């Protein structure tokens, strides 16, 4: 256990978080964008558990359960919206969504 420190865990969490963030900003497919959002939440959970373990507090580990619950609610609504949009327009690429513009 001594070989891995808090810094290692945080670095990994930061990498995963940045990967998710890049994906949200760059990718055009809504489902991939959405997966990247979940990746960002997963990174926060990793950081929470790491802090919890190394600081010797339980609070972070408890917050993880709240994050999972909230993420589940978000996925339920989010996927419903994406599926409804796909049925309506037949597209899940955000570059093919063009109902909204100033014209």
Partner 1 sequence: MTHALAALDAFKSAAPQAGDWASILPEILVAGLGVFALLQALTLPASGRWLIPAVARVGLLLAGFLAYQAGESEGARFGGLLQQDASTHLWRQLFLLCALLTSLVGGRFFRQRGADEAEFHHILLLVTASLMMLAQSSHVVTFFVALETATVGLYVLCGFLRRSAASLEAGVRYLVAGGLSSALLLMGFVLLHGVAGMHLPKGADPLQFASIAAALLGHGGEPLALVGAALVLAGLGFKLGAFPFHGWVPDVYQGAPTPTTALLATASKSAGVVGLVLVVSGPLAPLAAKLSPVLAVLAGGSLLAGNLAALGSSDTKRALALSGVSHAGFLLAGIAGLVTLRSQEGVFGAADIALPIVLAYLLAYVLGTFATMGALAALPAESDERRPLVALRGLIRRSPSLAAGLTLGIGSLAGIPPSIGFFAKVLILWVLVSAEAWTLLALAVVSVAVSIHYYFSIIREATVRTAPDGEVPPRIPLLDRALPLGLGILTVLLGLGSLIKAALG
Q: Which residues bind partner 1 (CB under 8 A)?
A: 10, 17, 20-21, 24, 30, 33-34, 37, 40-41, 43-44, 47-48, 51-52, 55-60, 62-63, 66-67, 70, 73-74, 77-78, 81-82, 84-85, 88-89, 94, 97, 99-100, 102-103
The CA distance from 28 to 34, in Å, is 10
Minimum distance of partner 1 from residue 94's CB (angstroms)? 8
The CA distance from 60 to 46, in Å, is 10
Minimum distance of partner 1 from residue 1's CB (angstroms)? 18
What does the longest C-alpha to C-alpha distance in the chain come to?
Answer: 61
Reported residue count of the chain is 103
Cβ distance to partner 1 smaller for residue 3 or 103? 103
Per-residue tokens: 17: 């978080």
């Amino acid at each position: 256990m001594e070989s891995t420190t808090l810094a290692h865990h945080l670095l990994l969490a930061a990498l995963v978080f940045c990967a998710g963030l890049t994906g949200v900003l760059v990718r055009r497919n809504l489902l991939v964008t959405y997966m990247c959002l979940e990746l960002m939440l997963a990174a926060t959970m990793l950081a929470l558990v790491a802090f919890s373990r190394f600081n010797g507090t339980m609070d972070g580990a408890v917050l993880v359960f709240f994050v999972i619950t909230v993420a589940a609610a978000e996925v339920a609504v989010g996927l419903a919206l994406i599926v409804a949009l796909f049925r309506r327009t037949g597209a899940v690429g955000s570059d093919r969504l063009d109902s909204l513009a100033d014209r």
